[in-house]
Structure 1
Amino acid sequence: MTDPHPLLPFVEGLPKAELHVHHVGSASPRIVAQLAARHPDSEVPTDPAALAEYFSFTDFAHFIRVYLSVVDLVRTPEDVRLLTFEIARDMARQNIRYAELTITPWSSTRRGIEEKAFMAAIEEARHQAESELGVVLRWIFDIPGEAGLEAAEQTARLATEEGVRPEGLVAFGLGGPEIGVPRPQFKPYFDRAVAAGLHSVPHAGETTGPGTVWDAIRELGAERIGHGTSSAQDPELLAYLAEHRIPLEVCPTSNIATRAVATLDEHPLRTFVDAGVLVTINSDDPPMFGTDLNTEYVVAARLLDLDERGLAALARNAVEASFLDEAGKARIAAEIDAYTDAYLAANAG
């Protein structure tokens, strides 16, 4: 952004929750460079400046290739712990109070990280983040759709097996490419996860049509939809999402970077809001897309012509749509309201 938005100072101090943000995809250039230096057989640059060019995507398929090359850098439990805690540190700088971090265990355990060591690493980082940074983390385990049913089986097992499933796990998801990866094939795995008490939060309708969103709802029992961009093409679907209060996890800059949406002016965020859909604002894979959650709130302010109260309402949407306990939701909502009132009072006139 060449000209800082006048609401950026408000956004920077606003207490926030984030619901659609990926573990490896949140690795900052500094951390990626450190990991690449530790694993010199990787194609990923070790120079943070070179990473900006490396993270320039031509389309969604190219993004997936780059993303997987960074996944390949996370090879040891210490890599996992360091990455997770440093993500929380970046969140704390943005006044993110709570985040549901999407983790793909398959990507790390196939590299040879022992399952229980992986779980111990993320849990250690979670406790450290809460005690030292005041950031509450919870996990979403997602199936990498492109890896097929073997990955789905392992992810479901890790998400439901006593003695392995981590305490911070709250939901079960599905990510990766949508084209050629139909949602219904994953129904048995989502059924198992939901039976074990987890929430259903698949990606759908990012690079495919609204039929994929319908499949996520009808076949996978989706309680939130990751992206859901193409929902705007189906008025019946928008009405259903609004009526049943199924939130969309909207990631504007990501949608442009992956070419899911051609330009910000064409982004369907306003269509969602006008239809009464509960929307949350998220950063997806922030360093890879040259963004962060504060920037995404500013983008939303531009797209929706919001003032401070409107941005605070968006922040409360994320709290409402989260799987945090009711006491935790009330605490963050009260922080949002208190901050907004104090900011407006201090800047009145």
Structure 2
Amino acid sequence: MSTFAHSTPTPADPEIDTLVAALPKVSLHCHLLGTVAPGTVVDLARKHGVDLGRRADELYDHGSYEDLGEFLRVLDVVGSLVRDADDLHRITYESLTLGGADHGVLHREIQLSPPGHPDVPYGRLLDGVLAGARDAQADTGISFGLVVGINRERSGADAVALVEQVVADRRDEVLGIGLDYAEVNGPPGRFVEAYRLAGRHGLRRTAHSESGPPAHVLTLLDELGCSRVDHGYHVVDDPEITARCVEERVPFNCTPVSSDIGRYSGSGDGTHHRIREMVDAGLLVTIDSDDPPMFGTDPTHDFRVLAHALGYGAPQLAAFTRNAVEACWLDDGDKAALARQVDELCAPLLADAPAPA
């Protein structure tokens, strides 16, 4: 379990703590570099002779990440320290075990950003990540897939080149592509060619849409061919787009703690009102932890925060996990097996839940 202080403290409530700890979880929005614990960063810096100038407990300044640029700068520093197969194995293994299975995560689709590892060739990057992921699966039973992230602050041509690499070195575990970094610096329309190339080769598609207008959601669906959206809180600002997404059961992968700090899902006030509006509108919402240690959270804490802020109990928290099963990119057989596992683990939690008023 996590050993760092949470950036969003919640009142002591043993009943909620017991519930969220026991809740099975399916992780669809968690960046590999964002899961590197501070102690691991310090170890990697020491290994590679880099002076960070900070202690482990000073490494991640959660509050400063209201400025997305500052957060991305720290993310890039961490990426620069992950340089060889052992480093990749370690951070992936820890992401899926200490940061995953230990919190009840049954399946994680890891968001991997090759541009964040400028000195590691794509094939070597995959080899190291897959070695760590397979060992984690063998030790804990957690299943996994990879989502290759495009840095939207780079050109459309760079995006096409990355997709060409993915296609040329196709691995079964690479399920699809994503689009990350600052949306304001890379509107989704820039990446139509790359996404269509990915679609022609059978890759699934998602994209971050955390700060743009609701119309960006339409671009993701109609031009990029996305089957789910990362964040997407602004969708509720347009009733017509919301209604379409409800009808088509478009999944929205929400990250309460990081998005609140970044002022995307509640203006930093801890109300998480955007997520409430999305749920109340009938949208297919999933919950994950984005870049957990960097934002002072973990897969359990994000559920804890919503339980306290929005009054959600076992039925709604379990629904988030069931939504994630529906939204995941496993094949039909593996998805059905995951659904059965989730239902089995949720059954006692729902049996103990108070009857609705």
TM-score by length of 2: 0.90
**Structure 2: tracts of 5 or more residues without a match:** 1-8
Letter in 2 for 1:68: D
The alpha-carbon distance between structure 1 residues 147 and 87, as it changes in their structure 2 partners (threshold 3 A), is: same
Evaluate the alpha carbon distance shift between residue 344 and residue 223 of structure 1 in structure 2; reply closer, same or farther with a 3 A threshold: closer
Alignment correspondent of 1:27 = 36
1:77 to 72, 81, 85: 85
Match of 2:234 in 1: 230
Distance in 2, matches of 1:190 and 1:18, equals 23
Q: Secondary structure at the match of 1:147?
A: coil
Match of 1:7 among 1, 13, 16: 16
The amino acid that maps onto 1:235 is P
- Matched residue, 1:176: 181
Structure 1, gaps ≥5 residues long: none
What is the match of residue 251 of structure 2? 247
Counterparts of 1:94 and 1:294, CA distance in 2: 6
Match of 1:86 among 60, 76, 94: 94
Match of 1:154 in 2: 161
**Alignment of structure 1 residues 191-230 onto 2, 5 Å:** 191-204=196-209, 206-230=210-234
1:332 counterpart = 2:338: yes
Q: 296-305 or 74-83, which moves further after superposition?
A: 296-305
* Alpha-carbon distance in 2 for matches of 1:324, 1:3: 37
Find 2:152's aligned residue among 145, 159, 168: 145
Report the Cα distance in structure 2 between the residues aligned to 1:42 and 1:200, rounded to whole angstroms. 38
Deviations 1:188-236 (A, max 9, x none): 11011111111110111x1222122222122211110010011121111
Compare 31-40 and 120-129 and name the one that shifted more: 31-40
Q: What is the CA–CA distance in structure 2 between the aligned matches of 1:44 and 1:193, rounded to whole Å?
A: 41
1:114 aligns with 2:118: no
Q: Which amino acid in the other structure matches residue 320 of structure 1?
A: E
Measured after TM superposition, the shift of residue 303 of structure 1 is 4.2
Give the secondary structure class of the aligned counterpart of 2:50.
Answer: coil
How far apart, CA to CA, are the structure 2 residues paired with 1:227 and 1:345?
A: 31
Are 1:49 and 2:54 an aligned pair? no
1:96-117 Cα distance to aligned partner (Å, 9 max, x none): 0100010011222x21x23322
Identity of aligned residues (%): 30
Do the aligned residues in 1 keep the contact of 2:62 with 2:296 (CA within 8 Å)? no
Number of equivalenced pairs: 343
Secondary structure of 1:190 counterpart: helix
Structure 1 residues 172, 338: closer, same or farther in 2, change over 3 A?
Answer: same
Contact 1:174 1:201 in 2 (8 A): yes
Deviation per residue, 1:286-326 (Å, 9 max, x gap): 11110111111122223442221221121111111101122
> C-alpha distance in 2, partners of 1:306/1:341?
17
Secondary structure of the 2:289 match is coil
Distance 1:44 1:133 in 2: 35
Question: Aligned equivalents of 2:194 and 2:39: distance in 1?
Answer: 36
Q: Is the 8 A contact 1:101 1:138 kept in 2?
A: yes
Deviation at 1:266, TM superposition (A): 5.0
- Deviation track 1:33-72 (CA, whole Å, cap 9, x = no partner) reads 2112223335463x22112437742411221122112111
Q: 2:287 aligns with which of 256, 278, 281?
A: 281
Change (3 A) 1:68 1:196: same
Quote the Cα distance in structure 1 between the aligned partners of 2:64 and 2:42.
Answer: 16
Pair 1:212–1:343, CA change in 2 (3 A)? closer
